[in-house]
Structure 1
Amino acid sequence: MQRFVCLLLFGLIVATRSIEAAPPEPLRVMSFNIRYGTAKDGPNHWDLRKDFVVETIKAFKPDLLGTQETLGFQKDFLAEKLPEYTAIGVGRDDGGDKGEMMAIYIRKERLDVVASGHFWLSETPDVVGSQSWDSSLPRMVTWADLQDRQAADRPQIRWFNTHFDHRGIEARKQAGRLLRERLAGTTGKALIVTGDFNSLETSEAYRNLFGTIDGHASPVLDVFKSLPKEKQPTGDTATFSNFRGGGPRKGGRIDWIGVNDRFRVVSAEIDYTERDGRTPSDHFPITTILEWRTPGAAEKE
């Protein structure tokens, strides 16, 4: 009997250690411009597609969901339909409820929010509602520091979610520089950036964020460029759908996700979900699945 009890206890200890040593599950990240809900979009109006948006999100089951063009009532609708997420977002016009939000959603059972905040893409980023250069509207970033509950031995994640100006070329260029500076100034953390950048891979805005400048590599890599060549979308593959289904089309990627070398990119995809020839928004959502690198692995590769 005593031998049986000892063996049972030993088995429990081994099982417990195995559970403790289990690697964290991959992180699932989605960036989704959901199109502002007061637009006069006729058959694609928000009220006619909002449930489709939620279903598209649930189908991917992101741990992190970064949205763009999200008005307050849209943020609240998604928060109601996605109660398993913590929602964070403020209006770009007043830092309250006025204007589009870069609302982010964090799966509660996977990640704890340590801190969060916002800054504006301007020469005075800490001034609420500020705009500079040739920006047509205030543009902003919402960020959060997160601790992965499955990865206590990994660093905190700092996540930035943004939307660059749709008209101002100089504004997009400078926004790329400002965001890069904020990323570079974040030390010791895993980095994720999501957003609608209204810029192609050939743009200076893209180079300012992801390119090498004065011999210095960017703090983050475009997840699509981290894939093997044969799995990368062509340079002219669009992420703007204009509500039309039909799969891949030309037009170029203007929605991007970037990460630093704390992660290994398992997959990066454009989500071509459609129904009756229509997509849930005028942008295709983009997704990536990330694995934590073991401590020190990035330095060895």
Structure 2
Amino acid sequence: MLSGFRGTALLALLALSLPAGAAPAKTSTPLRVMSFNVRTPVDTEPGRRWEDRREAMVSLLREQHPAVFGTQELVEKQADYLVEQLPGYRWFGQGRRGGSGDEHMGVFYDSAQLRVVESGDFWLSDTPEVAGSITWGNLMPRMVSWALFQRQADGRRFYLFNTHLPYREEDEPRRVRAAKLIAERLGKLPADIPVVLTGDFNTEPGSDTYATFTAALGDARRLAGQVDGPRLTFHNFSGTPTVELDWILVRGFTVDRFRTLDNTPGGVLPSDHYPVQAELRFPAAATR
């Protein structure tokens, strides 16, 4: 009885020490975010074909169960298969030439955890609102799919932007222009709403593109309290990655954990990239 009384008294003292009307700050549960280049289904070699690896991809996604994941190289038939196999997940995003054809920067989310408040697409060109637009010397359209999400459990909101930058070595100036355009868009968002950017950036940390992005955003891998898995992400179906092309960048979140997922469910590589995943924590917020 005495220890119970002391506990009650301590709680009372803590309550008196708070400003009038304020409640203790609450620390939210982490938000699990993934970036996954799923490899477009063009390969015909056994082991690389979409039909050979799609079950492994679903297995990995079921095991990890991210609240949201941004994809690259996605085509509609792959998206349809994934949402069929992953009940509760929904997805959005136009094809890079507009409409439902070609590759998408499709964003998938668990509708039990998140709802979309608003969403859209823009193109990495001189005319961002023109679907399929190509400038700067790019070979094909490059774009961003984005959303403002709200978490079902606590109402916390965040923005997610997802992209895939051009791949040639000589495209670095174009990637920098894309990074500047994305950073400009992010700079216009409300400062009090956290942001996460997922993507296959086709360049590595240390590049001018990386420097442009990290002037405005933090690299989740380098901010994480715990890091697991290889640093490099692209392996071209070899299982031995050679470059770090896939990143998760953040603003307004702390990062509990970052993982490069080199899982091979059933001995099968789900893609030619390893997905990367971050567990992000919203800033604590006092309630009144």
Picking from 51, 60, 78, the partner of 1:74 is: 78
- C-alpha distance in 2 between matches for 1:150 and 1:206: 34
CA separation in 2, counterparts of 1:49 and 1:81? 14
- What are the Cα deviations for residues 70-118 of structure 1, in whole angstroms up to 9, with x where unaligned? 011111111111221121121101x211210011111111111111100
Deviations 1:172-229 (A, max 9, x none): 1111111111111111321011010001001111111113xxxxxx1x211011035x
Residue 223 of structure 1 corresponds to which residue in structure 2?
220
C-alpha distance in 2 between matches for 1:276 and 1:52: 7
Select which of 233, 242, 263 maps to 2:236.
242
Q: Which residue pairs with 1:281 in the alignment?
A: 271
SS in 1 for 2:184: helix
Q: Do the aligned partners of 2:30 and 2:281 also contact (CA within 8 Å) in 1?
A: yes
Contact 1:224/1:232 (CA < 8 Å) preserved in 2?
no
- Letter paired with 2:208: E
For the pair 1:259 / 2:253, whether they are aligned, the reply is no
**Equivalent position of 2:31 in the other structure:** 27
What residue number does 2:163 align with? 162
- The answer as to whether partners of 1:210 and 1:222 remain within 8 angstroms in 2 is yes
The CA distance in 2 between the partners of 1:122 and 1:41, in whole Å, is 35
Do 2:53 and 2:268's aligned partners in 1 also have CA atoms closer than 8 Å? no
The verdict on how the C-alpha distance between 1:171 and 1:39 changes in structure 2, with shifts beyond 3 A counting, is farther
In structure 2, what is the equivalent of residue 90 of structure 1? 94
Instruction: Give the Cα–Cα distance (whole angstroms) in 2 for the partners of residues 131 and 41 of structure 1.
Output: 31
Residue 292 (structure 1) aligns with = 282
**1:182 corresponds to which residue?**
185
SS in 2 for 1:50: helix
Which letter does structure 2 place at the counterpart of 1:225? Answer: R
Quote the Cα distance in structure 2 between the aligned partners of 1:291 and 1:221. Answer: 14
Partner of 2:47: helix, strand, or coil? helix
What CA distance in whole angstroms lies between the structure 2 residues aligned with 1:41 and 1:132? 34
Q: TM-score, normalised by structure 1?
A: 0.81
Secondary structure in 2 matching 1:169: helix
Aligned-pair distance for 1:275? Answer: 4.8
Identity of aligned residues (%): 36
Q: Give the CA deviation at 1:41.
A: 3.8
Corresponding residue of 1:123: 126
Are 2:90 and 2:108, in contact at CA under 8 Å, matched by a contact in 1?
A: yes
Residue identity matched to 1:108: S
For residues 26 and 211 of structure 2, the distance between their equivalents in structure 1, rounded to whole angstroms, comes to 38
Number of equivalenced pairs? 259
Q: 1:138 to 1:47 in 2, by over 3 A?
A: same
Q: CA deviation at 1:276?
A: 6.5
In 2 relative to 1, CA 242–119 (structure 1 residues): closer, same or farther, beyond 3 Å?
Answer: same
Counterpart for residue 37 of structure 1: 41
Change (3 A) 1:190 1:75: same
- Give 1:233 shift: 7.7
Deviation by residue 1:265-294 (Cα, 9 ceiling, x = unmatched): 000110011257642100000001112221
Structure 2 letter corresponding to 1:258: L
- Match for residue 142 of structure 1? 145
CA distance 1:41–1:117, change in 2 (3 Å): farther
Q: Give the alignment's TM-score, normalised by structure 2.
A: 0.84
TM-aligned CA distance change 1:80 to 1:232, over 3 Å = closer
Structure 2 residue ranges without an equivalent (≥5): 1-24
CA-based RMSD: 2.0
Partners of 2:193 and 2:94 in 1: how far apart? 24
Are the aligned partners of 1:146 and 1:158 in contact in 2 as well (CA < 8 Å)?
A: yes
Task: Give the gaps of 5 or more residues in structure 1.
Answer: 1-20, 212-217, 297-301
- Separation in 1, partners of 2:220, 2:243: 15
Distance in 2 (alpha carbons) for counterparts of 1:240 and 1:41: 18
